[in-house]
Amino acid sequence: MTEPRLDMSTDRDFQSGRRDESAAIDSRAPGPSVLAERTLLGVFAHVIAFVANLVPFLFVVPILIYRFSDHEFTRTNTRNAINWYAFLFATVVTFVAVFFPVAWLTDAVALPGVIELLLVLPVFLFAFFVTLLLPLTILFCLVATAKAIFGTAWTYPIAPDVVGYVASVRSQ
């Protein structure tokens, strides 16, 4: 059985180093045209945002990418990632702002059991919600990156359009 081989032109041309450039380029190869439609920065915007939010003070990196990018695919993906992480940040800050006063109040003041339960139960449910957001963040990052690889800008569920809101306020 013979092995298939690439026929660049002729064996003599191939051995001498000469080849027909038009034969070597496959017009069906999606490489350069794919990168014209979507950039690597747009594909990895979600991973960059994920890592940037793990390291203090790197959260500005996705904001800078969004601000200075001129490619619509990159801007859309970065905008979606910023919206999610702004929602996540606001949720965690709100949880901390509610948790510590309620914890202090239940320790400092002797409240009847029913009132204490009415104070602690919503905080517990909110803590459960915040705890669910952490694995969802990893999952959403992977899904959004995979969608971006295939050319779709995926909007994170339950994340409000913070960037759109800020842009509309600034334009007024």
pLDDT in tens, 148-170: 988 889 999 999 999 999 988 88
Task: List, for residues 49-99, the tens digit of each pLDDT value.
Answer: 888 878 877 888 889 999 999 999 999 999 999 999 999 999 989 998 988
Would you state the pLDDT for residue 103? 81
- CA dihedral for 155, 159, 163, 168, sign (positive or negative): positive
pTM equals 0.71
22 pLDDT higher than 60: no
What DSSP string runs through 2-27?
Answer: PPP---SS-HHHHHHT---HHHHS-T
H helix runs in the chain, sequence order: 11-16, 21-24, 31-37, 40-43, 45-54, 60-68, 72-108, 113-149, 162-171
The helix (H) or strand (E) run that includes residue 168 is helix 162-171
Residues of the chain with pLDDT > 70, as a percent, come to: 78
Phi-psi sector, 57: left (phi>0), alpha (psi -120 to 50), beta: left
pLDDT at residue 27 is higher than 50: no
